[in-house]
């Protein structure tokens, strides 16, 4: 069996691995050369990111590789615009997390884990067969779990344990889903053709639907969609802040990429009768539950990271919302929304980090942010912008555009009742973020936490992220157009 | 009903019964051992289905490695040899769990059984064919799998050794010298650090 | 000749048992057993799909191999984490709530 | 100068005067002078208007393209006709007289300028109503008059009673205006145009835009508005209270403007009104009740100014009754003629009593006893004014009242309409009017008892008005006597009255006056007809209508308002707070669910999620 | 060019003042903001006259274009916004909300002014947007700055009230606008275009059910902003708490966004659906008229009172719109403008009084304005007279034509006529409460020179603001044609020759 092999397309996934290997080698040779390692990791990520650019600009090229020969040709790697966008975002957000960890403190373990998870994420969004999909998804997940646990704190261990148990069960579900899929379609690829064939037979159709639902359940954990979200608040608050940022950005992007891969075959059957109601229903349940639970819970939080964690849950609902349409536009919309969310989330986490540094004992209560906008305009401004984007209020226009983007496919698919639920969630969401926003604009208090001495990296991430948000707010097409 | 069916039924029954015991026994070590039996049963099933390689790998990797690890872990976490009273769960939870399991089984049966009508010819799968495909078509995920294993190895090592134990070396040693951190536990002295960071000379300044 | 009903029934039962095991256990290590049962059920299903007809690219053999390997990797990391958790929490009870106030252990990581 | 130009100037000039006066408010006397001069100019203009007025109504020229508001055309036209010119002339005249009087009367008032400006604006509004050939213009004039009356009545806003009276006047008329506005809205909507001619064309013919019942209802609504503005039953009570305003204001309101405006408007709408029997019945009954009741109340007043106020109510009822009973051939001009004459003699009476009240320091009958002796002119003016009021033959009021009687008679013998009732009421009213006129005369001209007549004339030590005021009074007196000559000009299109009616009224007047003469008391002039204190109080309070308004309308409305405010706070806002609270409660429950954050919770939830997903799959099986 | 200047100058300056320029001292910030407001306003007026067009792609993937154009319907509103924008900024010389009750600084003047400018920009953008999605985005732009104005610079006496009012404002409006978004998306998806010029034709063949659904969503969303009973409860709180300039902007500009949206979206695009829900809208409007009027009869807080009177006035506008005819739309448009200037005038005055007195509780006896500050008193009585619909002042035309329009509506004659009859009762209520205020505040006993609570008369820029608004009230009242002639063509094009 011969495969086509376009190394250029695979480079985004390979380069981080190469950097990983190099780091291990260098570490073995020169254990003290840590800065070199960090540079290597950064370089690996940047180079990989650069490799995704052609996918964003070249439009006619199908960018498929790892294809078996015709007539039975199937490709295991699809590097189209949507994929490339997600890959770029995964790589850059990992880079941002690396910066948050800070150059001085990043140890070899962090570097290796980050690189591994980045390459896993990059690969999973391009995967078109179940084997690659399953493996790379785990590659994207497992190092993150380790990163959470790799931390000598009781709470961190607890958080890691929570994350681990959930992820183990989810893995079980993923494998079950895979098995069901193969049983239903007889095909290990995630393509419309195979699904369409199975759809013709009622028994197989049922099984394929069930398979997708189970896969969905397994993936929902990574997205922290309700009811697979329970790890989110615990882990995000107890783990190191940069890793929480990773979970909220890069990890989410990988998850949505993986989900898009699973749902893509449904293009072929969405207009058939009977349609894939099971999948739509499952998605709707996840969407509605996540939106409502997440916002309602976030509304009650006073600890900022916990608030962000619950808002992650809520945003998962928004990410899933456009997918309920089961259309190309819906998938693109989900990607765009995730992109916006990831940037805004990163900015928020970076700002929190810039305020608290590595000291968790300061108490990351909302009250500590009183008057931040006047006390510390840069951080406060970045945080405020991120919150506005998350809330979807101008001047964070991109947040609003993202909401429009997310609502559009659902509305077009006739799911306007879900859209009405989204309205409620959006308003509650505004209440959540405005609560924090209001604090930023309050009178500065005296007992605010002291500014950490070294926070250039965090601040830099926050500011670059803000810049992205500002530019995207002025010209949303730059972001929205990436995926199409 | 063919002989193959019979063989499969035997192995399957073994696997299911052992599995039931594995999830229901109160003795933790027994649970692990029943798992071994169940996995052997599964391997038998796979053999009957004609996938020797998979069956073999299952036995090797699972029974040979994983269950041993599990047993070690049980020991290290001071699991009792007898019934595990610390982690006993109330009866209602058992019932609920049983119901959840039964529901899952029922659902899967309802979805799967309509598909399995009649007998089919068993297909022998040669290891060569598997190897060809594995290193031909599936080479990319195979490589990814190796990265995953590498990452898991490093992760497991790092996690089990803990952050304080030699990886994040320089600063921790420094800390230890300054007396804020107990190097063995990798924890800093709480109150002092807390106070110190209040006046801005926190650890970043170190 | 073989009936496919057999593998399907066994798989369904194993997965059901796995779900039961996962939900009933408070011991983190024993949770793994439940997961392994789910995986085993899935394996049988996968393999059975290949037993009947030619699966594309021998997926029915190769996917199980992948799954087994991933599971092994997972279990290794999982056990490491469970041991760490045991070291810090003094227990691997999954019902144990979040430590109330953790600000006592002050070193921020990373 | 065409009639149309005159009418434009007659409307515009007072507006300009009002603005100029207001701008000059720092120098009140100069401001008042400006207002007076402008009003005199108006008089000149109006006089010119009398001469250039066309004999039949024809002076409408399309000034500009009509404004098109959606499907509604708004021509905003003014027009002039013979009756219009006459009415405009008397309005201008009365306004001028009032302004002249004001300059003297409110000499030391710090808001003289504002008052003068308001009077000018008031005049302008009345002129607008008179000349309007567009119902929206009518409405504008109508409402602006209401507002100006509010300002004038409340002029002495440092007095609580004045504030209340102004408030009451405006609110009562405004409530009635609901009908007026709705009626106009209906007419306009039916005609597709606000132009008066378009409305008349559309509604007076046999093919009305709606059924005749609807036409009647719409006209009845307009009539309700008129009843309010003209202080007819059941809205009559605001007018006597409005006596809290300065006397010149009363003169203006009662004589030529606000109260009389209803007559003008209904006269304009007469071609439609004549076909609306329901509206005519309403108008007829209301005016019949009012004219008798108000005349009776006038008889019992202890305050002469209030007596005049009630007399206005009664007289306006008489004019309106002419409209209710007039047949199509007779037309609205008898009513307009009575309005014209009423304007003349009522302004005379008010200005005179204003003067006398300055002399006496009060308008109470007790205080005014014999006040007329202060000046010969006062006596003469008062006498002729009252004669006209009583409807004595040959003075202006007598002539016009004859025509009203004839109109009512024609209406009574004709088919339909409330003619009989009105006629009966008219006859009774003639008697009563004569009685209270006699009483007023007796009080004021009683032999002087006190040594110094200017007891309370603080503002005007001598109590003597300026020459200009005297001149104005003289002019009005002369007009009262000879004003009837206007009939010769043919401006009013009126049939000849029969001398039998004249004789009858003379008889009735004699009866009334005679009774009054006999009932006169040498003691307290208040006792002439009403003997007990209780009854007197009742009469002074207008039979307790004020209380009725409050009990029946104000209190329930305020009660309802409180209920609504409560509902708004507790019920309508409840869903907002409820939403907030339910979000909070949901959060609380959710938080309880997540309180422990044990790892097994996550696993449990995943299992739950799987079951839910699977359940979904089962439910949506196909 | 003018269009760009109108959108960019205030927007950019506002953003800069809120972020980079926060630290500017008061004097500089005021001058800069005023210059920006004047330039923006002038550009807006020029743009209203010249009618330039901006049309370029913005988010092609969503089909959203930067399509700004002023037509007859928006021109008066843009002009109104321009005037109000300049006035509110100028008013910063008279009232300084960035100071707290004791005169200490509680916020940055620049931020305050920036927020004002941003609200104005948002309104400009919304009124000139010719793309449904763009309209929605512009609609949302005003939220945060307005929230800042209320929550940060509102009533200095009660922090809790500020928080409540600002949260109410933003959440209420957000629920409305998001519902509207769903409606817009549904409409745009069904019609295949978001351009206002093409939408009506494109949406013409939607089924009645679809139209009704879209119209319901759009109307429901916009009704919050108008506000229509029973969705009004955010308004009194917001008005009571907001600083004067905030109240003025809210009443004069933001509420107009709601009615403008009703004209632009449901009425223009899904007329059949809209006319199906029109009776409900009309009834809600009429209830609002009575409801607001009745509450005003007993309300003690003057600012709240005026807010409730806004509910009543907007009830007339809604009633006119519900008639669905050209006449109705014309009535609504002039009613909009009139309410804009009148309520702006009243809020400037009442805000000034609150500033002087510390509270505007009507139960507290204070010297009559007529006696102590005649100019302010005159302005107040002018505003009240206009508010009660006195002819010759701005309020009359909207009310009168709003009563005429439902008499011959497009559909549902019976219900709408009944509504008109009841609405006329509301006009009497308006008189009752307006004069109630006049009786308590304007007139009263003579006061000695040293009485407490003496309010200084208005002067300086406050006087100028009051004078301009007063002049506008009179001008529109005397010559409504200036508005109607601008709107006529656009309205008949929009309603499309409906009876």
Q: What is the ipTM of this complex?
A: 0.85
E68 bridge partner residues: E54, E129
Q: Mark whether E333 and E446 lie in a shared domain.
A: yes
Best mutation target among A424, A427, A463, A471 (most E Cβ atoms within 10 Å) is A427
Q: Are A361 and B197 in contact (CB under 8 A)?
A: yes
**Which residues of chain C lie closer than 8 angstroms to B63, CB-CB?**
none
Distance from CA of C83 to the nearest CA of B (A): 7
Q: Which residue of A has its CA nearest to B200?
A: A450
CA atoms within 13 Å, Cβ hemisphere of D495 = 16
Of chain A, the end-to-end C-alpha distance in Å amounts to 33
Q: Which residue of C has its CA nearest to B136?
A: C57
Is B43 within a domain? yes
* Number of DSSP helices (H) and strands (E) in chain E, helices first: 22, 2
Q: Average pLDDT, whole number, for chain A?
A: 87
E126 touching A (Cβ < 8 Å):
no
Looking at residue A120, its pLDDT comes to 94
| E425–D69 C-beta distance less than 8 A | no
Is D546 within a domain? no
Tokens of E450: 């040293």
Tokens of A477: 């097409």
Tell me the count of D-E CB pairs closer than 8 A: 137
Q: Are D38 and D158 in contact (CB under 8 A)?
A: no
Q: Which residue of D has its CA nearest to B93?
A: D604
**Which residues of chain E lie closer than 8 angstroms to D562, CB-CB?**
298
**Long-range contacts (CB closer than 8 Å, 24 or more residues apart) made by B72-75:** B72/C79, B73/C29, B73/C79, B73/C82, B73/C83, B74/B28, B74/B29, B74/B32, B74/C29
Looking at residue A335, its pLDDT comes to 93
Q: Name the band, by pLDDT with cuts 50, 70 and 90, for residue B189.
A: very low
Tokens of E275: 């006319």
Q: Mark whether D463 and D591 lie in a shared domain.
A: no
| C106–A361 C-beta distance less than 8 A | yes
Determine the average pLDDT of the residues in A352-364.
73
**Which residues of chain D lie closer than 8 angstroms to E330, CB-CB?**
69-70
Q: Mark whether E102 and E62 lie in a shared domain.
A: yes
Question: Prior bond to E339 cis, omega within 30?
Answer: no
Of C36-50, D204-218, E451-465, minimum mean pLDDT range: E451-465
Domain count, chain E: 2
Is B138 within a domain? no
D248 bridge partner residues: none
Q: What is the pLDDT of residues D298-331, one digit of tens each?
A: 887 878 888 888 888 888 888 888 888 888 778 8
Run of H or E including D74: strand D72-74
Instruction: Provide the CATH number for the domain formed by C5-89 in this structure.
Output: 1.10.287.3510
Domain boundaries, chain A: 7-483
List chains adjacent to chain D, taking adjacency as at least 3 C-beta pairs closer than 8 Å: A, B, C, E
Q: What is the pLDDT of residues E50-77, one digit of tens each?
A: 888 888 888 888 888 888 888 888 888 9
Is E286 within a domain? yes
Q: Mark whether E152 and E294 lie in a shared domain.
A: no
Determine the average pLDDT of the residues in A31-51.
88
**Which residues of chain E lie closer than 8 angstroms to D142, CB-CB?**
391
Q: Return d(Cα D41, Cα D47) in angstroms, integer.
A: 10
Looking at residue C100, its pLDDT comes to 59
> Is residue E379 over pLDDT 50?
yes
Nearest by CB to E137, from A397, A412, A475: name it.
Answer: A397
CA atoms within 13 Å, Cβ hemisphere of D173 = 26
Q: Mark whether D502 and D558 lie in a shared domain.
A: no
Looking at residue A317, its pLDDT comes to 94
Q: Mark whether E244 and E296 lie in a shared domain.
A: no
**C70 or D8: which leads in pLDDT:** C70
Q: Name the band, by pLDDT with cuts 50, 70 and 90, for residue A390.
A: very high
Domain boundary residue, one of E269, E301, E332: E269
> Is residue E449 over pLDDT 90?
no
Distance from CA of C54 to the nearest CA of B (A): 8
**Which residues of chain D lie closer than 8 angstroms to B100, CB-CB?**
607, 611
B31 touching C (Cβ < 8 Å):
yes
Q: Please state the three-class secondary structure of chain A as a single string.
A: CCCCCCHHHHHHHHHHHHHHHHHHHHHHHCCCCHHHHHHHHHHHHHHHHHHHHHHHHCCCCCCEEEECCCCCCCEEEECCHHHHHHHHHHHHHHHHHHHHHCCCCCCHHHHHHHHHHHHHHHHHHHECEHHHHHHHHHHHHHHHHHHHHCCCCHHHHHHHHHHHHHHHHHHHHHHHHHHHHHHHHCCCECCHHHHHHHHCCHHHHHHHHHHHHHHHHHHHHHHCCCCCCCHHHHHHHHCCHHHHHHHHCHHHHHHHHHHHHHHHHHHHCCCCCCCCHHHHHHHHHHHHHHHHHHHHHHCCCCEHHHHHHHHHHHHHHHHHHHHCCCCHHHHHHHHHHHHHHHHHHHHHHHHHHHHHCCCHHHCCEHHHHCCHHHHCHHHHHHHHHHHHHHHCCCCCHHHHHHHHHHHHHHHHCCCHHHHHHHHHHHHHHHHHHHHHHHHHCCCCCCCCCCCCCCCHHHHHHHHHHHHHHHHHHHCHHHHHHHHC
**Which residues of chain D lie closer than 8 angstroms to B110, CB-CB?**
618
Is D198 within a domain? yes
E431 touching A (Cβ < 8 Å):
no
Q: Are D149 and D242 in contact (CB under 8 A)?
A: yes
CA atoms within 13 Å, Cβ hemisphere of D5 = 5
Q: Which residue of B has its CA nearest to A133?
A: B141
**Which residues of chain E lie closer than 8 angstroms to D558, CB-CB?**
297-298
> Is residue E91 over pLDDT 60?
yes
**Which residues of chain C lie closer than 8 angstroms to A360, CB-CB?**
102-103, 106, 108
Q: Name the band, by pLDDT with cuts 50, 70 and 90, for residue B169.
A: very low
Q: Are B41 and B18 in contact (CB under 8 A)?
A: yes
- The secondary structure of residue D553, as a DSSP letter, is I
Looking at residue B206, its pLDDT comes to 32
> Is residue D454 over pLDDT 80?
no
Share of chain D above pLDDT 70, in %: 91
Q: What is the pLDDT of residues D265-299, one digit of tens each?
A: 888 888 888 888 888 888 888 988 888 888 888 88
Q: Which residue of A has its CA nearest to D618?
A: A278
Q: Name the band, by pLDDT with cuts 50, 70 and 90, for residue B199.
A: very low
Q: Mark whether E31 and E91 lie in a shared domain.
A: yes
Share of chain D above pLDDT 90, in %: 0
Looking at residue B142, its pLDDT comes to 92
Q: Name the band, by pLDDT with cuts 50, 70 and 90, for residue D241.
A: confident
Q: Average pLDDT, whole number, for chain B?
A: 77
Is D545 within a domain? no
| C97–D596 C-beta distance less than 8 A | yes
**Which residues of chain E lie closer than 8 angstroms to D553, CB-CB?**
none
Domain count, chain D: 2
Computed on alpha carbons and rounded to an integer, the radius of gyration of chain B in Å comes to 25
Q: Return d(Cα C55, Cα C67) in angstroms, integer.
A: 17
| A165–D602 C-beta distance less than 8 A | yes
Domain boundary residue, one of D514, D540, D566: D540
Tokens of A355: 């305020």
Q: What is the pLDDT of residues E121-141, one digit of tens each?
A: 999 999 989 888 899 988 888
**Which residues of chain A lie closer than 8 angstroms to E207, CB-CB?**
none
Looking at residue B172, its pLDDT comes to 43
| C88–A175 C-beta distance less than 8 A | no
Is D547 within a domain? no
Q: Name the band, by pLDDT with cuts 50, 70 and 90, for residue D63.
A: low
Domain boundary residue, one of E240, E269, E298: E269
> Is residue B193 over pLDDT 60?
no
Enter the pTM of the model.
Answer: 0.88
| B156–C12 C-beta distance less than 8 A | no
| D598–C98 C-beta distance less than 8 A | yes
Given CA atoms D565, D570, D572, D573 in this order, what sign does their dihedral have? positive
Q: Average pLDDT, whole number, for chain D?
A: 81
Q: Return d(Cα E283, Cα E261) in angstroms, integer.
A: 19
E452 touching A (Cβ < 8 Å):
no
> Is residue B176 over pLDDT 60?
no
CA nearest D119: which of D214, D232, D256? D256
Tokens of C5: 């009903």
Q: Name the band, by pLDDT with cuts 50, 70 and 90, for residue A469.
A: very high
Contact flag for E and C (3+ C-beta pairs < 8 Å): no
Q: Name the band, by pLDDT with cuts 50, 70 and 90, for residue B188.
A: very low
Q: Are D519 and D530 in contact (CB under 8 A)?
A: no
**Which residues of chain A lie closer than 8 angstroms to C66, CB-CB?**
131, 134-135
Determine the average pLDDT of the residues in D497-517.
81
Q: What is the pLDDT of residues B87-139, one digit of tens each?
A: 788 888 889 889 889 988 988 888 888 887 777 777 777 888 888 888 888 88
E209, with CB counted inside 10 A (0-12, 13-18, 19+), is exposed
Q: Which residue of B has its CA nearest to A149?
A: B159
Run of H or E including E66: strand E64-69
Is E274 within a domain? no
**Which residues of chain E lie closer than 8 angstroms to A424, CB-CB?**
175
| B132–A1 C-beta distance less than 8 A | yes
Q: Which residue of A has its CA nearest to D594?
A: A230
Q: Are A53 and A92 in contact (CB under 8 A)?
A: no
Domain assignment of residue B74, given as a range: 1-88
Q: Which residue of D has its CA nearest to B102?
A: D611
**Which residues of chain D lie closer than 8 angstroms to A228, CB-CB?**
602, 605-606, 609
Domain boundary residue, one of D540, D574, D594: D540
Check which CATH number belongs to the domain holding B67 and give it. 1.20.120.1200
CA nearest A172: which of B101, E454, C86, D565? B101
Contact flag for E and B (3+ C-beta pairs < 8 Å): no
Of D137-146, D560-569, E354-363, minimum mean pLDDT range: E354-363
Q: Mark whether D247 and D340 lie in a shared domain.
A: yes
CA atoms within 13 Å, Cβ hemisphere of E320 = 30
Domain assignment of residue E73, given as a range: 1-269
Q: Mark whether E366 and E432 lie in a shared domain.
A: yes
Q: Average pLDDT, whole number, for chain E?
A: 86
Length in residues, chain A? 484
**C65 or D107: which leads in pLDDT:** C65
Sequence-distant (6+) residues with CB within 8 A of E49 are none
Is B59 within a domain? yes
Determine the average pLDDT of the residues in D525-532.
60
User: Quick one: how far is CA A437 from the chain centroid?
Assistant: 24
Tell me the count of A-D CB pairs closer than 8 A: 98
Best mutation target among D592, D603, D610, D611 (most C Cβ atoms within 10 Å) is D603
> Is residue A78 over pLDDT 70?
yes
Q: Are E309 and E288 in contact (CB under 8 A)?
A: no
Looking at residue A17, its pLDDT comes to 94
| A443–E57 C-beta distance less than 8 A | no
Q: Where does C1-110 have alpha helices with state H?
A: 5-24, 28-52, 59-89
Is B179 within a domain? no
| E22–A416 C-beta distance less than 8 A | no
Nearest by CB to A454, from B156, B163, B204: name it.
Answer: B204
């Amino acid at each position: 069996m011969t495969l086509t092999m376009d190394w250029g397309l695979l480079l985004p996934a390979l380069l981080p691995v190469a950097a990983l290997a190099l780091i291990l080698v260098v570490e073995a040779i020169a254990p003290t050369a840590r800065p070199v390692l960090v540079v290597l990791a950064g370089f690996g990520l940047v180079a990989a990111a650069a490799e995704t650019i052609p996918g964003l600009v070249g439009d006619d090229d199908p960018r498929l590789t790892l294809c078996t020969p015709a007539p039975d040709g199937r490709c295991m790697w699809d590097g189209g615009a949507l994929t490339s966008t997600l890959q770029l975002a995964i790589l850059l957000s990992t880079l941002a997390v690396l910066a948050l960890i800070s150059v001085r403190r990043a140890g070899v373990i962090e570097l290796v884990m980050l690189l591994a998870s980045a390459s896993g994420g990059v690969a999973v969004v391009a995967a078109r067969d179940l084997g690659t999909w399953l493996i790379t998804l785990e590659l994207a997940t497992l190092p993150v779990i380790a990163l959470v646990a790799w931390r000598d704190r009781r709470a961190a261990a607890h958080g890691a344990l929570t994350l681990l148990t959930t992820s183990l069960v989810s893995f079980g579900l993923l494998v079950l889903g895979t098995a069901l899929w193969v049983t239903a379609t007889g095909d290990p690829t995630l393509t419309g053709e195979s699904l369409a064939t199975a759809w013709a037979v009622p028994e197989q159709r049922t099984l394929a639907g069930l398979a997708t639902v189970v896969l969905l359940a397994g993936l929902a954990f990574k997205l922290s969609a309700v009811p697979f979200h329970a790890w989110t608040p615990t882990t995000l608050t107890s783990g190191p802040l940069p890793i929480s940022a990773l979970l909220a950005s890069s990890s989410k992007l990988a998850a949505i990429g993986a989900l898009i891969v699973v749902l893509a075959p449904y293009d072929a059957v969405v207009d058939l009768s009977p349609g894939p109601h099971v999948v739509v229903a499952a998605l709707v349940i996840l969407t509605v539950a996540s939106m409502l639970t997440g916002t309602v819970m976030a509304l009650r939080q006073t600890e900022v990271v916990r608030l962000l964690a619950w808002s992650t849950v809520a945003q998962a609902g928004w990410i899933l919302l456009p997918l309920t349409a089961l259309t190309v536009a819906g998938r693109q919309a989900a990607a765009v929304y995730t992109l916006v969310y990831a940037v805004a989330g990163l900015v928020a986490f970076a700002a929190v980090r810039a305020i608290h540094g590595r000291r968790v004992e300061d108490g990351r209560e909302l009250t500590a942010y009183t008057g931040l906008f006047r006390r510390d305009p840069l951080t406060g401004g970045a945080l405020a912008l991120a919150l506005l984007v998350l809330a979807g209020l101008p001047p964070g226009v991109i947040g609003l555009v993202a909401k429009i983007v997310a609502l559009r496919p659902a509305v077009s698919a006739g799911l306007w009742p879900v859209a009405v639920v989204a309205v409620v969630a959006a308003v509650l969401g505004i209440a959540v973020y405005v609560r924090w926003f209001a604090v930023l604009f309050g009178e500065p208090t005296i007992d605010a936490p002291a500014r950490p001495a070294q926070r250039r990296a965090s601040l830099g991430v926050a500011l670059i992220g803000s810049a992205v948000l500002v530019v995207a707010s002025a010209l949303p097409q730059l972001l929205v157009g990436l995926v199409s | 009903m063919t002989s193959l069916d019979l063989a499969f039924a035997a192995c399957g029954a073994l696997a299911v019964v052992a599995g039931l015991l594995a999830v229901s026994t109160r003795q933790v070590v027994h649970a692990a051992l029943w798992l071994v039996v169940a996995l052997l049963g599964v391997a038998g099933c796979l053999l009957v289905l004609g996938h020797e390689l998979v069956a073999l790998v299952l036995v090797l990797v699972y029974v040979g490695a994983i269950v041993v690890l599990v047993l070690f872990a049980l020991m290290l976490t001071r699991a009792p040899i007898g019934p595990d009273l610390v982690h006993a769960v109330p009866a209602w939870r058992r019932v609920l769990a049983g119901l959840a399991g039964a529901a899952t089984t029922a659902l899967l049966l309802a979805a799967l059984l309509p598909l399995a009508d009649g007998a089919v010819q068993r297909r022998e799968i040669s290891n060569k064919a598997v190897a060809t495909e594995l290193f031909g078509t599936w080479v990319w995920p195979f490589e990814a799998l190796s990265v995953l294993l590498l990452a898991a190895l490093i992760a497991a090592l790092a996690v089990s050794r803990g952050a304080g134990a030699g990886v994040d070396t320089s600063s921790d040693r420094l800390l230890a010298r300054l007396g804020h951190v107990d190097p063995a536990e990798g924890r800093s002295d709480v109150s002092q650090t807390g106070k110190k960071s209040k006046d801005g000379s926190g650890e970043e300044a170190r | 000749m073989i009936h496919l009903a057999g593998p399907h029934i066994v798989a369904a039962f194993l997965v059901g048992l796995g779900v039961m095991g996962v939900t009933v256990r408070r011991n983190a290590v024993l949770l793994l057993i439940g997961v392994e049962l789910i995986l085993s059920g899935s394996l049988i299903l996968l393999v059975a799909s290949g037993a009947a007809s030619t699966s594309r690219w021998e997926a029915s053999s190769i996917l199980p191999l992948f799954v087994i390997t991933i599971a092994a990797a997972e279990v290794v990391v999982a056990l490491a984490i469970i041991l760490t958790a045991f070291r810090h929490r003094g227990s691997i009870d999954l019902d144990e709530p979040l430590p109330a106030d953790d600000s006592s252990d002050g070193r921020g990581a990373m | 100068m065409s009639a149309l130009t005159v009418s434009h100037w007659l409307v515009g000039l007072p507006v300009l005067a009002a603005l100029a006066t207001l701008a000059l408010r720092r120098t009140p006397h100069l401001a008042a002078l400006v207002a007076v001069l402008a009003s005199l100019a108006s008089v000149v203009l109006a006089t010119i208007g009398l001469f250039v007025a066309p004999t039949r109504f024809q002076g409408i020229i399309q000034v500009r393209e009509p404004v098109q508001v959606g499907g509604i055309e708004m021509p905003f036209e003014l027009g002039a006709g013979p009756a219009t010119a006459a009415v405009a002339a008397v309005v201008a005249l009365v306004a001028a007289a009032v302004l002249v009087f004001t300059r003297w009367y409110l000499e030391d008032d710090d808001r003289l300028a504002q008052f003068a400006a308001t009077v000018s604006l008031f005049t302008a509004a009345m002129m607008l109503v008179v000349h309007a050939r567009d119902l929206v213009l009518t409405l504008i004039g109508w409402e602006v008059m209401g507002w100006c009356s509010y300002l004038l009545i409340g002029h002495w806003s440092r007095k609580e009673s004045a504030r209340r009276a102004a408030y009451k006047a405006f609110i009562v008329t405004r409530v009635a205006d609901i009908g007026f506005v709705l009626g106009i809205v209906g007419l306009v909507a039916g005609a597709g145009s606000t132009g008066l001619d378009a409305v008349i064309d559309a509604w007076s013919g046999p093919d009305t835009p709606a059924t005749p019942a609807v036409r009647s209802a719409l006209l009845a609504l307009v009539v309700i508005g008129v009843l309010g503005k003209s202080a007819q039953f059941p809205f009559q009570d605001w007018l006597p209270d409005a006596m809290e305003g300065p006397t010149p204001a009363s003169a203006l309101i009662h004589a030529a403007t606000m109260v009389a405006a209803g007559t003008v408007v209904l006269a304009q709408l007469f071609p439609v009104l004549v076909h609306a029997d329901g509206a005519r019945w309403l108008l007829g009954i209301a005016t019949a009740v009012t004219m008798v009741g108000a005349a009776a109340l006038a008889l019992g007043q202890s305050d002469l100014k209030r007596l005049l106020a009630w007399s206005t109510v009664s007289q306006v009822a008489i004019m309106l009754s002419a409209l209710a009973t007039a047949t199509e051939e007779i037309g609205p001009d008898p009513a307009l003629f009575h309005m014209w004459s009423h304007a003349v003699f009522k302004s005379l009476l008010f200005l005179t009593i204003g003067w006398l009240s300055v002399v006496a320091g009060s308008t109470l009958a007790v205080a005014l006893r014999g006040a007329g002796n202060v000046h010969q002119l006062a006596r003469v003016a008062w006498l002729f004014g009252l004669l006209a009021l009583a409807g004595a033959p040959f003075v202006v009021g007598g002539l016009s009242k004859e025509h009203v009687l004839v109109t009512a008679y024609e209406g009574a013998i004709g088919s339909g309409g409330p003619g009989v009732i009105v006629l009966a009421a008219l006859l009774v009213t003639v008697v009563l009017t004569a009685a209270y006129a006699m009483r007023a005369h007796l009080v004021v001209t009683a032999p002087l008892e006190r040594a110094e007549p200017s007891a309370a004339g603080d503002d005007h030590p001598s109590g003597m008005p300026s020459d200009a005021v005297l001149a104005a009074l003289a002019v009005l007196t002369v007009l009262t006597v000879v004003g009837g000559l206007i009939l010769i000009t043919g401006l009013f299109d009126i049939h000849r009255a029969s001398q039998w009616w004249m004789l009858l009224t003379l008889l009735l007047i004699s009866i009334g006056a005679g009774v009054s003469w006999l009932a006169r008391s040498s003691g307290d002039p208040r006792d002439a007809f009403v003997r007990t204190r209780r009854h007197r109080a009742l009469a002074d309070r207008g039979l307790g209508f004020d209380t009725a308004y409050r009990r029946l309308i104000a209190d329930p409305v305020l009660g309802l308002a409180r209920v609504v405010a409560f509902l708004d706070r507790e019920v309508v806002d409840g869903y907002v707070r409820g939403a907030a609270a339910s979000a909070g409660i949901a959060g609380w429950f959710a938080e309880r669910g997540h309180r422990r954050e044990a790892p097994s919770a996550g696993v449990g939830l995943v299992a739950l999620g799987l079951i839910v997903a699977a359940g979904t799959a089962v439910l949506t099986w196909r | 060019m003018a269009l760009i200047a109108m959108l960019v100058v205030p927007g950019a300056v506002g953003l800069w003042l809120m972020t980079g320029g926060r630290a500017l001292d008061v004097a500089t910030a005021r001058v800069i903001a005023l210059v920006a407001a004047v330039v923006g306003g002038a550009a807006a007026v020029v743009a209203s006259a010249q009618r330039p067009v901006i049309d370029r792609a913005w988010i092609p993937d969503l089909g959203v274009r930067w399509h700004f154009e002023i037509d007859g319907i928006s021109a008066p509103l843009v002009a109104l916004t321009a005037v109000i924008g300049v006035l509110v900024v100028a008013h910063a010389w008279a009232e300084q909300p960035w100071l707290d009750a004791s005169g200490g600084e509680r916020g940055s003047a620049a931020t305050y002014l920036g927020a004002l400018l941003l609200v104005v920009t948002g309104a400009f953008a919304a009124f000139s947007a010719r793309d449904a999605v763009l309209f929605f985005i512009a609609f949302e732009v005003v939220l945060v700055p307005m929230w800042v104005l209320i929550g940060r610079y509102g009533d200095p006496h009660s922090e809790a009230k500020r928080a409540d009012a600002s949260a109410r404002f933003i959440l209420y409006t957000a629920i409305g606008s998001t519902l509207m978004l769903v409606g817009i998306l549904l409409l745009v998806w069904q019609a295949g275009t978001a351009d206002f010029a093409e939408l009506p034709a494109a949406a013409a063949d939607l089924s009645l059910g679809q139209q009704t659904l879209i119209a319901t969503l759009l109307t429901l969303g916009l009704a919050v902003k108008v506000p229509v009973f029973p969705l009004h409860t955010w308004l009194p709180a917001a008005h009571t708490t907001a600083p004067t300039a905030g109240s003025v902007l809210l009443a004069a500009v933001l509420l107009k966004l709601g009615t403008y949206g009703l004209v632009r979206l449901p009425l223009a695009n899904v007329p059949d659906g809209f006319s199906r829900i029109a009776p409900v809208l009309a009834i809600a409007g009429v209830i609002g008229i009575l409801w607001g009027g009745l509450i005003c009869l007993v309300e003690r807080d003057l600012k709240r009172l005026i807010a409730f009177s806004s509910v009543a006035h907007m009830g007339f506008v809604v009633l006119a719109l519900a008639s669905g005819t050209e006449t109705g739309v014309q009535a609504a448009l002039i009613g909009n403008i009139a309410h804009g200037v009148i309520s702006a005038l009243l809020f400037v005055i009442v805000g000034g009084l609150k500033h002087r007195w510390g509270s505007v509780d009507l139960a507290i006896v204070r010297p009559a304005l007529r006696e102590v500050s005649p100019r302010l008193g005159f302005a107040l009585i002018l505003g009240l007279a206009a508010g009660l619909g006195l002819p010759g002042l701005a309020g009359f035309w909207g009310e009168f034509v709003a009563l005429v329009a439902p008499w011959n509506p497009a559909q549902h004659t019976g219900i709408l006529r009944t509504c008109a009859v009841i609405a006329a009762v509301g006009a009497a209520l308006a008189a009752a409460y307006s004069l109630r205020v006049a009786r308590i505040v304007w007139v009263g006993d003579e006061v000695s020179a040293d009485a407490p609570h003496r309010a200084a008369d208005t002067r300086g820029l406050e006087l100028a603001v009051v004078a301009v608004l007063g002049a506008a009230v009179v001008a529109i009242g005397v010559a409504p044609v200036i508005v109607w002639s601008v709107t006529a063509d656009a309205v008949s094009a929009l309603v499309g020759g409906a009876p």
